[in-house]
Amino acid sequence: MIRVFPFFLKAAWVTIQLSVLSCLLGLACGALGAAARLSRSSALRLAGATYVSVIRGTPALIQVFILYFGGPQVGIQLEAFEAGVLALGFNIGAYMTETMRGAIIAVDRGQTEAARTLGLSRFETFRSVTLPQALRLMVRPLGVNINALIKGTALVAAISVVELTYTAQRYIGSTYKPFEMFFLAGAIYMAIIYVTGLGVNWLDRRVALK
């Protein structure tokens, strides 16, 4: 057990990197997706809706496989880690799109009306009135998305990214202790999730209304 521990810590670092990078990509995709879905242009709305329904309608594992194994066929050669970050980021981005869109829609229409009657433009209204209120509404649900993302990083074990789940599987071979190996991996996931949850709580308190 103690012998494998350093390898698990190294693997945990890979899992954290996967999580952070795909989370950032997901937030960017989510913001773009939400903007598209709420756009005045029907082409953009359709593009946003298609992104969301394709990603949410197919298994994340298939998305990882398509990018990693199918990519080279169309000239996209990616390292396993890169493919993992991209696939996970695009995937969670679709869920974040809906989270962000929901939070923006949930801001009372009277807020927009009040701002627009003062003479603020659509953009000024969004930036100064709608967005600050929507951000408060989206912190917790985005936390739920991020929680799912962290656990979802286990999927990229299937394309041999040496993260926690892959590492656990690998050391079963030499230790013959599947219970301990998976338990250790699970405990580390839980620790990461716990710390992330503290971060989300802190952020939620920070942006809370006075």
> Does the protein bind another protein through residue 116 (CB under 8 A)?
yes
Please give, one letter per residue, the 3-state secondary structure of 146-164. Answer: HHHHHHHHHHHHHHCCCCH
Residue whose entry in the numeric block shows the structure tokens 């298609």:
50
> Does the protein bind another protein through residue 106 (CB under 8 A)?
no
Distance of CA 203 to the CA centre of its chain: 17
**What are the residue ranges of helices labelled H in 40-130?**
42-57, 60-65, 80-106, 109-118, 122-125
Interacting stretch for another protein, rule CB under 8 A, among 73-81, 118-126, 160-168, 197-205? 118-126
Interacting stretch for another protein, rule CB under 8 A, among 5-13, 92-100, 124-132, 170-178? 124-132
Q: By C-alpha distance, which of 149, 42, 26, 44 is closest to 97?
A: 26
> Does the protein bind another protein through residue 108 (CB under 8 A)?
yes
State which of residues 31, 120, 172, 200 lies at the interface with another protein (CB under 8 A): 120
Smaller CB distance to another protein: residue 120 or 158? Answer: 120
Smaller CB distance to another protein: residue 3 or 210? Answer: 210
> Does the protein bind another protein through residue 133 (CB under 8 A)?
yes
Using a 10 angstrom Cβ sphere, with 0-12 exposed, 13-18 middle and 19 or more buried, the burial of residue 186 is: middle
State which of residues 50, 53, 58, 121 lies at the interface with another protein (CB under 8 A): 121
DSSP string, 178-194: HHHHHHHHHHHHHHHHH
Residue whose entry in the numeric block shows the structure tokens 């009306």:
113
Interacting stretch for another protein, rule CB under 8 A, among 63-71, 82-90, 131-139, 151-159? 131-139
Smallest distance from another protein to CB 117, Å: 4
Smaller CB distance to another protein: residue 82 or 204? Answer: 204
> How many angstroms separate the CA atoms of 95 and 77, rounded?
26
* Residues engaged in binding another protein (CB under 8 A): 108, 110-111, 113-122, 124, 128-129, 132-133, 136, 209-210
